[in-house]
Amino acid sequence: MLINPSNPNAVSDTQEVLSAASTLGRQVFVVKATEQRELDEVFNSLIRQQARALLVLPDALFTSRPQQLSVLAAHHRLPAIYHNRLFPDAGGLMSYGTDQLEAYREAGRYVGRILKGEKPSDLPVVQSTKFEFVINLKTARTLGLDFPAKLLAIADEVIE
């Protein structure tokens, strides 16, 4: 699991993943990067630890580098799941996370309400309700992975 320890959510997100992994009887290695220059060493560390897959937690550092992270994962033949569809679009294996376009639309609706005179403090807090699961089959084939038809059927998008 790749985290940015300077992210305010890193501790709670890590605890949740470790708890879930424990329930499933899985071991999780936590690797950390706070700067772009650390990413190559992160992947070398994962290979030394014989990691079989990678979970990249949400962080601006990672989201701003979907191409770099996807290439590193492919180079090291490491299946990876990300939090944002930018990654499978850039060649990453798969993602599951908030539909970013819907989040931007919601932000636009908020701006419109504020411009029409509503006070920001009167607006409700809205959490994402639309999530998307994206699989990149080309990357899966490169990694020698086959996805069951049932999994492909529930994906919001399958990139050929």
Point out which residues pair with 55 in neighbouring strands. 81
CA dihedral 50, 86, 98, 42 (to 10 degrees): 30
**Domain architecture of the chain: domains with CATH:** 2-98+130-159 (3.40.50.2300)
Point out which residues pair with 158 in neighbouring strands. 135
Question: Burial level of 83, CB count in 10 A (0-12/13-18/19+)?
Answer: middle
9-to-61, 75, 104 alpha-carbon distances in Å: 14, 29, 21
66-75 vs 39-48: helix axis angle to the nearest 10? 30
Task: Give the pLDDT of the chain (160 residues) as one tens digit per residue.
Answer: 999 999 999 999 999 999 999 999 999 999 999 999 999 999 999 999 999 999 999 999 999 999 999 999 999 999 999 999 999 999 999 999 988 888 889 899 999 999 999 999 999 988 888 899 999 999 999 999 999 999 999 999 999 9
Asked whether the beta carbons of 41 and 3 are under 8 A apart, the reply is: no
